[in-house]
Copies of this chain bind each other. A is one copy, B any other.
């Protein structure tokens, strides 16, 4: 009795790795400011639970494998608003964006194939790729360049004979990097030239700041045949626990393949779909208010972080994450110190060390990812504690 090779290669989440230390610190009475998790505190629009409460089925029955019609139609309506025409056959509702990613990889990767992707990247891509027999070929980006990667020369360096797809998260997790529509064109042109799929994870699409325009790979109809959109209600509507996402694509052959797997797992949650469809009835003021809230938080935490001598972080253009370079030798060691030795008036701070977000070994050791999903005063305090902690840590090491 052995386990498969793929699961032996998988890692536990680097985001959750330090949880036991945080729990111990909290048990010992310390207050920990959590910058490590991407669970927003923004309220889910009431429309979700209202629709769920109004649902009175005698039997909670299977939904259609591709999604209930009102969910598909809600998605069609949303895309129409951003200038993208879809039909139901272009949409398969999935169990979160997560299942859309898995279906995407299972559809296009063979054993040994590679998915290109800018690093640092959302670490779960490693696991999804492994589940489909593939690996991630990283495009290394830098804090100093704002983690930009939509450059032909840079993309070419990471291309291998086994590359089948280029994956883009925009706005990005963990960097907050935002692709413009022109950037997306560069990437699609590169994909076309090398006969690659483009998998576009756009679950943070609304969260772009400083006058940036919402941009989607779906807005480039000339590349529609190779573009697979991964979407979700989780972040858009602060409804992470409702496991409703979608895979959206105009390539009929790909969608037929995804449908085989969708039929196999029967359906996504019927009740979550009923609630999620109702989320799309919120008006524009909702999107605007949430965008402004995150933008304020970004400004607040960026300003506070930049007071830390030696910290490097260009103000990110989107999402609710930042990857920050710190003036320390090892961000994992620092986190260990913050959770087990350091406090100021009984308080400390937690983040996700960024090394785990890189596929290339040995880089990102001095970087961290923070999620600015807390209220502003907490973000300020957390950044302040981080600065104090770094000071104490480097002093301890004699630096």
Chain A contacts to B: CB under 8 angstroms: 1-8, 10-13, 16, 39-44, 48-49, 52-53, 55-63, 95-96, 98-99, 102, 106-111, 113, 124, 127-128, 131-133, 164, 195-197, 225-226, 238-243, 253-254, 257, 259-261, 263-272, 275
Contacts and interface: CB of A to CB of B under 8 A. Distances in A.
13 contacts: A1-B108, A7-B261, A10-B264, A49-B57, A98-B264, A98-B266, A124-B264, A127-B264, A133-B133, A240-B266, A242-B269, A243-B266, A271-B271
Nearest to A45: B60
Contact of A257 (B3, B43, B197): B3
Contact of A59 (B16, B41, B61, B195): B41
Contacts of A131: 106, 261, 264
Main secondary structure on A side of the interface with B = loop
Given A7-B106, A10-B260, A60-B239, 9 more contacts: A2-B164, A4-B107, A39-B61, A40-B59, A44-B58, A44-B60, A95-B268, A96-B266, A98-B266
Residue among A127, A240, A260 with most chain B CB within 10 A: A260
B52 A195 contact: no
Contacts of A253: 3
Contacts of A7: 106-107, 257, 260-261
A95 B231 CA distance: 19
Question: Copy number of this protein in the oligomer?
Answer: 2
Contacts of A272: 269, 271-272
A244 to B, nearest CB: 9
The 10 closest A-B pairs by CB, nearest first: A241-B270, A127-B264, A7-B257, A98-B265, A60-B241, A10-B260, A124-B264, A13-B263, A269-B269, A62-B240
A254 B226 CA distance: 37
A95 B63 CA distance: 14
Nearest to A124: B264
